[in-house]
Structure 1
Amino acid sequence: MTTLPTARQESQPNKSSFATEDLTVKVLKSFEEAASLRELWDKLVQGLQAEVYGSFDWCRIWWSHYGRGRELRIFAFYAGGELVGIVPMFRERLWICGGLRIAKLVGCDFALAICSLLVHASGASEAIRRVVSYWLNEGGCDAVWLGPLNGSDSSVEHARLACQRLASEVEIVRDAEIGVHSSFHLPSNFEEYVQGLDKRQKQNFRRDMNLFGRTFKVESDVVSDEVEATKEFETFQRMHAEQWAAQGKLGHFQDWPRGLDFNRELIREHARLGRLRLYRLLADGNVVSYQYGFRLGDRLCWRLPARPAGKEWDRFGLGRLGLMKMIEDAIGEGIRFIEAGCGHYDYKVQLGAKEYPLRSILISSRRLGGRLRCRCIVLVSWLLHLLYYRIWFGRIAPKLPLPRRSLWKSWIRTRL
């Protein structure tokens, strides 16, 4: 979603090499002020082969839902008159630990997205150095958090190098792996993908597909039209909620504050832009699996699935079938990469996904008060995650006859 270097293959080599002394920066304070950059911003995201999370409209919509009480800064980097980097960030105060003033990447919380640092490699370390220096000096912050970052991306190394150049002013308080995310690298045809699976998975797919095909008339399609998608999303989100309700849980849209409103606006805007994808698997004309995602270039961000709950459906392996039909349809429309989201899921790995680390880099000023508050927030974050999320939210609350509630904002905002 955001900002500085990347290890990805850059598709615009004319912009990827320049001297750091040629790098200039403009600091913007609103998305209205940045609106003139919209087209160039999105071209940069695609040129760096980054995800839709970094696009202008994703960041703008995220900010409209989650920017309250936060102060926006958008760093636009230029070299030779061309836009070579865009770094949307914000400042907020975490009142725990004496009021830590911290700068973060736009989109880093509330939406389960992965951050990338969108600057061409030649200027990445220098861009990060300037951003960090800005926040810890003019920006009046105690700390800067870069995360969650793709740990296999060169963003991490560029951030470390930037901190080395600022060694007299900053220190890295935390540089840690905080989980994994998975991705599918797709071949040019579906049969080649299937042949790449191990013997057991190929047999499972063919067995389930044969059983499903003998029982129903099977079809699949993709909804992307703006009018149709808005209506279809409501059916999808209800199915998703019912699937999780059968397990005593709320599901994504109720777990995350403003989750439904945020995604409804994403749907409207990205359908208009031709990026929305709702992959459907139908049995006798009825939808029995949805896969919800967004396309940008030849890349797909797969957000969420949904399928009917109940033993009568479990025997068909709809989770696996729905995913594989999405992969088949995605390959058919020229998609070569699927970002499959955060967290470890056995079925994704079994079906060919590769896992990559997610990393968190927390940078503190060397001022004593800031350093102490920064170390305090690391401890508080760990305790909240253990006591609230893992024990209460994950284990105890689902077993109690109490109404489920959305995730605490204090937990979300302190996950560093």
Structure 2
Amino acid sequence: MIFQFKVIDHLENLMIYKNKWDNMAKKLNNQNPFLEFQWIKAWWETIGNGREVEIYALFIDEEIIGFIPLERKTLRTNHIEYSFIANGDASYMDFLVDPTHHKQALNFMLDYLLKKEEEVSISMFGLVENGNTSKYLDWYLEKNAVEYDFTRVVAPYISINQEDQTSYFYKRRKSFALNRLEKKFEQQGEVVFEPLTEVNYQKIYKIFEERWKMKNDTSGFSSELSKCFHNKLITETNLAVVDGLFLDKELVAYTFGYRIRGTYIGFSIAFNPNFDCFGLGNILDRKIIEKSFEVGDSIFDFSIGFEPYKFNWATEIQYIRNYYFGNKNASKVVKKKNFKRLLKEKLKKSKRIVYFKRNTLGKWSFYLRNPFRILTSFKKFFHFSKSEIYNLPAKKLGKEFVEEQQISLIHLQKMKNSKQFINNSFKESKYFILNNRNMYEVNNNLIVNKNWNSTIELPKNAVYINGPIVKEEICHWNDQEIFISINALERNKRKILRKSEFLKQTTIYSINFLKFHRFFGKKLKLKSPKRYKFI
């Protein structure tokens, strides 16, 4: 049995093997989308264009038995590094080889690469730990005393075909308070989760950038090359699955993943950060998992990563190995690089370090790019406010005709201070325009104030109003007792309130100093964390 190979280093040459590649993937029941011909072709046409791609087509007696997709890099004059293609773009990678020749094919290729006279190092990432390639690779490296090491990363997943959908979600009903959050979100308008059409493809990148603008993004999902690549996948292949969450026909969140032969692999998920209070990330996860049950998937894979939410949803885990090794001439380089890789892996397992790098450094970077935003942030951490609460008994003012128009959440998120409006909507505030002139915030349960970290519960048959104090308009709500809060320095508003027979109820003090928060006032009693009620 004599092995032979041909190196495919031009995209035109790859096209010759399309049918062979597709047939091999089908024969092996390949469930790795990153090994599919259409994925590799789209990557090579975009991100991989200009790179030294070397895909090895393996033969026995002129019969093709598989493919090994590699990329070659010249690190210095006498050092060559081979790696699987698409490092950083693919979560998993492997050989696509007939299983009867898998071990021999691996031995053959490694013998060929490692026996070169130059310094040669090899990086093989994305290998499933209990898969055949990892087992055969361990055997080869130990047998031939090759200098090597590997790092591991976890990949949580759900065995959909072993779970009952009803009991699966019932067990997790309290983990994310999903029923309550979904109900609140659905009260804001018409909510639809459905596949994206071409009209909305470009919007996912805007949502991604908005979501990550104050964080360190290492995925490069919205870079120009990545956009071209993902657009090709969406429009020219049947691998990519892109679903959107719409509120009143406006895209507010999306999921991007791959579905192949009964396996779904999540790749990117993001939502408009203004809607963070509604827990859209968890709502999205639930929607796509429900869809996975409905279409009859066997596996729902969250892809690699230690993110806590993955473990809350997952039923099982697998480990993915990233190997690095080389020939004797490259031993110093291999030792040095493996030390760095192992150190990096340990650092990634520390939540504090990961959050510091992603969130804290991301914020600092954002403020350096937008220095005028520093003052706004400063006010959040160092703030003192003194507010006065006034109330007016029910039916104190005469009723007048007022034209009322409620503002939808989608329209609110397009306004200035949209995040504040949406957060207040989550706390059951509604916004109205009266007489096509003034906008009012109305809440039948709570007194909310942008300067407070707490809320005050209203008594029964009462309403809180925030907006211009126009007697002819606020009388619209005087069927109930009206509560209004003003800044203690707003003397003109105080005079108007007193003339309109409002009575001062109490004075509220709110202090923010870094992580220290204090909220107090007379006639108040703490009912639950950050919620008070009148005595």
Query: Which of the five TM-score ranges fits, normalised by the shorter chain?
Result: 0.7 to 0.9
User: Separation in 2 of the partners of 1:272 and 1:70?
Assistant: 22
Which residue of the partner structure matches residue 13 of structure 1?
none
Deviations 1:34-59, CA, capped at 9 Å, x for gaps:
21211331333343433111112322
Cα deviation, residue 163, structure 1: 2.8
- Report the secondary structure of 1:350's partner residue: helix
TM-score, reference length from structure 1? 0.75
Q: Could you say which structure has the larger radius of gyration?
A: 2
Which residue of the partner structure matches residue 14 of structure 1?
none
Count matched residues: 362
Identity %: 16
Which residue of the partner structure matches residue 326 of structure 2?
364
- Report the secondary structure of 1:49's partner residue: coil
Q: Which runs of 5+ in 2 are unaligned?
A: 371-535
Q: Measured at CA, do residues 307 and 119 of structure 1 come closer, stay the same or move farther in structure 2, by a change above 3 Å?
A: same
- Report the secondary structure of 1:113's partner residue: coil
Q: Measured at CA, do residues 141 and 127 of structure 1 come closer, stay the same or move farther in structure 2, by a change above 3 Å?
A: farther
Which amino acid letter does the alignment assign opposite residue 402 of structure 1? L
1:186 to 160, 167, 190: 160
User: Separation in 1 of the partners of 2:288 and 2:180?
Assistant: 18
Which residue of the partner structure matches residue 295 of structure 1?
259
Q: Which runs of 5+ in 1 are unaligned?
A: 1-20, 405-416
Deviations 1:132-152, CA, capped at 9 Å, x for gaps:
122223584522221132223
Pairing of 1:96-135 with structure 2 (within 5 A)? 100-107=79-86, 109-135=87-113
Which residue of the partner structure matches residue 316 of structure 2?
354
Asked if the contact 1:243/1:306 (under 8 Å) is kept, the reply is yes
RMSD in angstroms over aligned alpha carbons?
3.3
Cα deviation, residue 30, structure 1: 2.3
The structure with the greater share of residues assigned to helix is 1
Which residue of the partner structure matches residue 35 of structure 2?
54
- Report the secondary structure of 1:399's partner residue: helix
Asked if the contact 1:50/1:116 (under 8 Å) is kept, the reply is no
Q: Does 1:249 align with 2:215?
A: yes
Which residue of the partner structure matches residue 374 of structure 1?
334
Cα deviation, residue 385, structure 1: 8.1
TM-score, reference length from structure 2? 0.60
User: Separation in 1 of the partners of 2:117 and 2:173?
Assistant: 53
The structure with the greater share of residues assigned to strand is 2
Which residue of the partner structure matches residue 120 of structure 2?
142
Pairing of 1:17-416 with structure 2 (within 5 A)? 21=1, 24-46=4-26, 47-67=28-48, 70-78=51-59, 83-95=64-76, 100-107=79-86, 109-138=87-116, 140-164=118-142, 167=144, 171-177=146-152, 179-187=153-161, 192-197=164-169, 199-201=171-173, 204-223=177-196, 228-229=197-198, 231-245=199-213, 248-249=214-215, 251=217, 255=220, 259-310=223-274, 313-367=275-329, 370-381=330-341, 394=358, 395-396=360-361, 398-400=363-365, 401-403=367-369
Which residue of the partner structure matches residue 4 of structure 1?
none
Which amino acid letter does the alignment assign opposite residue 375 of structure 1? K
User: Separation in 2 of the partners of 1:27 and 1:93?
Assistant: 17
Which shows bigger deviation, 320-329 or 57-66?
Answer: 57-66
Which amino acid letter does the alignment assign opposite residue 84 of structure 1? I
- Report the secondary structure of 1:376's partner residue: helix
User: Separation in 2 of the partners of 1:390 and 1:250?
Assistant: 10
Cα deviation, residue 70, structure 1: 4.5
